[in-house]
Structure 1
């Protein structure tokens, strides 16, 4: 039951994130998991999380290279061409 509550809380927290933030979190979690499995040491987990988060952001930005996300005064997010 505790696992379900933790997963639910994480899902709600990610729902309010931007796409770039979500890509970073998913990449970081995936990298940390791979680092834990491969090395089994805390250093491997940290390195995997850092590499995964960076890769998630870079791969996410590569999907729409000529578009940027902006926020207007009211906090609404919109996508337009980058300057």
Structure 2
């Protein structure tokens, strides 16, 4: 159980790395959701594999949806010389 807690904490620390890619954020969210769901499902089920599998599946889907939906949108603006640069969309 201690290993799972350490792995979950490491995953949360790695999740702090920012990515603007919607696919990357969905994958990280799905992975973190699956890990967290597996730990919670296993704890609720008394250490059984059924709870861990169900928790991982629910967490993966939920994490992927949230990760994808919270991706910051970047727009392209142009400076006075016509060079494009990215800005946050309004």
1:39 correspondence with 2:49: no
Mapped partners of 2:38, 2:56: distance in 1: 4
Q: Could you say what the CA RMSD is over the residues aligned between the two structures, in angstroms?
A: 3.1
Q: Which runs of 4+ in 1 moved over 2 A?
A: 64-67
Structure 1 gaps, min length 5: 68-83
Larger RCO of the pair (alpha carbons < 8 Å, separation 6+): 2
Cα separation, partners in 2 of 1:66 and 1:18, compared to 1, 3 Å: closer
Q: Deviations over 1:13-40 (max 9, x none)?
A: x98x922111110000000000011012
Tell me which of 28, 32, 45 is aligned to 1:26: 32
Number of matched pairs: 58
Asked which structure has the greater CA Rg, the reply is 2
TM-score, normalised with respect to structure 2 = 0.51
TM-score, normalised with respect to structure 1 = 0.55
Q: CA deviation at 1:64?
A: 3.8
Mapped partners of 1:65, 1:44: distance in 2: 33
